[in-house]
Structures are given as structure tokens and as C-alpha cells.
A and B are shown apart, each in its own frame.
Chain A
């Protein structure tokens, strides 16, 4: 494929996703809301993802601490290890890694689920049954991902910091209270709030892209597989782009 046709495809897809997002705001947020389905999705998307997010967060905190220690020791500032790990986890690594794990688990599952519903005409069947499939399937999932990812990130950060505490204690002995006091004293609201707020946008991107890919899945098992795969790839790329934009924005607003 030539660069021109690839660029055309990219622009075409960007336009379609933007229209899909516009439809979410114009139709998906209008009453009557599918409250029961939203709660089900919050449970499936949030609660069911917690073990994975917790495990990866714990390992991330532990490994980050173990990797940072030698560099800090060489400069003689190993006492600053909790501060450095705390800021890195809360401001950047926690939100981004949690969002990427979330995109892998939830983005693919939404893409595959809606994709297979699309190819087996279940979405048409819902329409015929007097249910707006966009509200029932898309709006509930996008709202659930936007709400659940910030909560998962906060929990993931906490577990990650505990992992960092274990990491610090491998080569030295530090009191847990002293460790967390040192971490929290180094953090301000301008570290925590932008980091949590940006995960709302990450969650929105994961939900929207997953639903878009599923809703526009082509026929056959290959089409469903492609929807699931491209949902993960595209939402992961979007997470990095959104992260870049939020860093620029927080810099402009003087929140750094």
C-alpha cells in the first residue's frame, strides 16, 4: 500500500472515530440511561480487572525500586529512593502502565464481544427488540471504562508503592510509616490530580476505541480477531498521545 492510501485510510478512520465519539455525546448521554447494564459493566470492567492491575502494580513498584537503587547508591542519595519511586509511580508510571494493562484486557474484550455480536446479528436483534444498541452497549461500556480506570489507577498506585516499600527493604531496613511519610511529603495535589484526571481520558479512549472496532467489525472470525487486536493497538497508541498532551497541558498550566 502506498503512503498516500495509508494516509487516506488513517484520516478516514480518524474521522469515523470522531463521528463515533460525537454520537456518544449526542445520543449516548441522553436519558433514559441503562443504569443496570452500566452497573454490570462497572463490575466486569472494574472489579474483575483489579487482580491483574494489582499484581502488575506490585511487580512494577518492586522492580522499579530494585532498578533505581544502584544508580542512587552511586550518587550517595539512596535515602531519596522512596521520594523518587513515589513521584515516578504516582505521576507517570502508575497511570500509564495501568492504562496499558487495562487496554490489553478490556479493550480487546470489548472489541471481541461487540465484534462477535455484530457478525452474529445480535446488535441488529437488539435494535429490533426496541433497545438502542448504541446506548445499551456503547454508552454503558465507555462510561464504565472512564469511571473505573481512575479508581483502578489509584488502587494500582497504592499497591505499587507497597511493592516499592518491599523493594527498599530488600537491601536495607525501612519502617513502613517512615517510607510512606517520605513518599507523601514529596507529593502535592498538582502531582496527584492531573495524573488521576488523565486516566479518565485514557479510560474513555479504551472504551470508545474498543466499541468502535467491535461495532464496525467485518464478517467472520478473522474480522472479530482483527477488531480485538486493533482495539488494543489503537487504544495503546492513543494512551501515549493523550499522555503527551496532558503533560504539555499541565506544563502550560504551571502544575509541574
Chain B
């Protein structure tokens, strides 16, 4: 198939300029479940401080892709280099160390519902940075909550929070370890348009503040337009096309065009 189209002529204008050094390099990724091939020779490179949005139909393999990057799923073939090290070859301990540099925002937030907001934020801190004292933990939790504007929720349970607040707390927990890469699994799905826009803005603000690189899975075209430095179209398990939002929107290819109607 000659589908690996590169539409990269236009540099992003509304967004910052990514630094050219790649932080994630995916080479010929192949993953299948039973007889169902999800990813087939999928390749992608993400530069430092770049926001890459992966667009595709439901069931196209977008979530599988980022779960392979974080090591929750093991690909059948291919390489995933994160800061030059192959995630697919790592053992449990190496993976745990690599994950301190990668944050993951789950679609359903995945906050621990038996813990308060504060305990949710403390959990990754106490696991990864065991030498931290109480005062330092307090300071980092406070900073994380200030970043998302929810300092008052510290002692609340996740069940007491609205959908938008849950997403913000989940984002705060993702950012608390100051990861250099963040993977977002449909960050605005299920939110009203106003809250979705606020989350988009928050993602951009925090990305600039902490200079993170991101891969964002999304169906929400407003989110794609607001956040993406580059859009990658995942079709039939492959990287079908990539480019800026504007470039892809202007494409006459019906397979690309159907997403922008």
C-alpha cells in the first residue's frame, strides 16, 4: 500500500516551534490481537516540545499505540525508542525507571477512588521518589493542584468531583513527576465544549511551562485544532498521512477529508 503520505510542507504557525531532537522514535510497529491486526508497520517520530495528535477512527489502534509506548502492551514487532532506549526490550525495573519520564493521562482519568485527591497525587511521588520528605511532598502536591486551579479539592474524594475537575486532577497527577513526555488518551472526550476548551488550554499552558512533548489521541476536532503542532492520521494500522491541521484540512484525499468535514 502506498499510504504513507507525508504532507509536511507547512510549519505550524499558531504553535511554538518544536526542537528538532526526537524524543520518541517508533519504527515499524506491529501489533495484533488474535487474527485482528491493529498496527502494521506503524512508524512515527516525536520531537522535543512537540504536540503530535494521532487521529483515527474508533478501533483504529490509537490507544493500543500509546499503551505500547508506555509499556502496558507489548508489540509483536518493531521498536519504540524513548530517549534512545528501546521500551520493548526493557525488563520491569528498567520500565519503571523509564516511566518516570513519561506521563499518561487515561481516558477515564483512572483516579484511585479509594483515595482522596491528595493521596492520589502523593501515590506516584512516594513510589518513585522515596527519599522525599513530608515538606517536599506537601509542596509538590500544592504546586500540582495550583497548576490546575483546584487547591481546595485536596481532601475530597474523586466521587465528589465533576468530570472536568476529575480530568484536571488526573492531569495534575500525571504532571507531578515532571515527565518530559505526556501521552493523552482522549483528554476531552465526554466533556462539554466549554470544559473541553479549558482542558485544551490547560494542556497547552502546562506544556509550555514544563516544556513537555506530547502524543494526544483525540476525536475532538476542536481539541486537534487547538493543540496539534502536527496531526498524524492512523488508518488501517499505518501512518496514512501527517502534517499540520491546516494542511490536512485542505487535502483533497477523501480518506483524510472525512475527518475534517
Residues of A within 8 A of B (CB): 116-117, 120-122, 124-132
Q: Cβ of B108 and Cβ of A129 under 8 Å apart?
A: no
B213–chain A nearest beta-carbon distance, Å:
17
Q: Contact at B127–A128, with CB atoms within 8 Å?
A: no
11 contacts between A and B (CB under 8 A): A116-B113, A121-B108, A122-B113, A124-B67, A124-B72, A125-B104, A125-B110, A125-B112, A129-B128, A130-B127, A131-B123
| Closest Cβ–Cβ distance, residue B32 to chain A (whole Å) | 20
**Nearest-Cβ distance from residue A37 to partner chain B, whole angstroms:** 11
* CB-defined contacts of A125 to chain B, threshold 8 Å: 104, 106, 110-112
Is the beta-carbon distance between B92 and A132 smaller than 8 angstroms? yes
The complex places the Cα of A124 from the Cα of B123 at a distance, in Å, of 14
Give the Cβ gap from B92 to chain A, nearest Cβ, in Å: 7
Instruction: Encode B51-93 as 1/0 by CB contact (under 8 A) with A.
Output: 0000000000000000100101000000000000000000010
Contacting residues, chain A, for B72 (C-beta < 8 A): 124, 127-128
Do residues A131 and B70 form an inter-chain contact, with CB atoms below 8 A?
no
Contacts of B123 in A (CB 8 A): 129, 131
- Tell me which residues from 132 to 165 in chain B have a Cβ below 8 Å from any Cβ of chain A: none
A155 CA to B96 CA, complexed, in Å: 42
Do residues B127 and A124 form an inter-chain contact, with CB atoms below 8 A?
no
**CB atoms of A120 and B110 under 8 A apart:** yes
Establish whether residues B70 and A128, one from each chain, have CB atoms under 8 Å apart when the complex forms.
yes
Residues of A within 8 A of B107 (CB): 121
Q: What residues on B are CB-neighbors of A117 within 8 Å?
A: 112
What DSSP secondary structure best describes chain A's contact surface? Answer: helix
Given A128-B99, A128-B104, A130-B96, residue A122 in contact with residue B110 (CB < 8 A): yes
Q: Is B12 an interface residue (CB 8 A)?
A: no
Chain A residues with CB under 8 A of B106: 121, 124-125
B-side contacts of A121, CB under 8 Å: 106-108, 110
Given A126-B112, A127-B72, A128-B72; 18 other pairs, CB 8 A cutoff: A117-B112, A120-B108, A120-B110, A120-B113, A121-B107, A122-B110, A122-B111, A122-B112, A122-B113, A124-B72, A125-B104, A125-B111, A128-B104, A129-B99, A129-B127, A130-B96, A130-B100, A130-B124
Closest to B112 in A: A122
| Contact assessment for B110 and A130 in the assembled complex, using a CB-CB cutoff below 8 Å | no
* Residues on B with beta carbons closer than 8 Å to the beta carbon of A131: 123, 127
Q: How far is the CB of B94 from chain A (nearest CB, A)?
A: 12
Residues of B within 8 A of A124 (CB): 67, 72, 106, 110
Given that A122-B112, A124-B106 are known contacts, is A129 also in contact with B124, CB under 8 Å in the complex?
yes
Provide the B15-33 mask, 1 if CB < 8 A to any CB of A, else 0: 0000000000000000000
CA A180 to CA B146, docked complex, whole Å: 65
Q: A121-B108, A122-B110 are in contact. Are A130 and B99 (CB under 8 A)?
A: yes
Q: Which residue of A lies closest to B129 (CB)?
A: A130
Query: Which of A125, A129, A130 has the most CB atoms of chain B within a 10 A radius of its CB?
Result: A129
Complex alpha-carbon distance, A91 and B167, angstroms = 54
Q: Which residues of B contact A116 (CB under 8 A)?
A: 113
Q: In the bound complex, how far is the Cα of B110 from the Cα of A121, in angstroms?
A: 5
Q: Measured between alpha carbons, how far is A132 from B112 in the docked complex, in Å?
A: 15
The docked-state distance in angstroms from the alpha carbon of A82 to that of B155 is 54
Known contacts A122-B113, A124-B72; A130/B128 CB under 8 A: yes
Q: How far is the CA of A122 from the CA of B128 in the complex (A)?
A: 17
- A129 to B99 CA separation, bound complex (whole angstroms): 7
B112 contacts across to A, CB distance below 8 A: 117, 122, 125-126
A132 to B95, CA, bound (A): 11
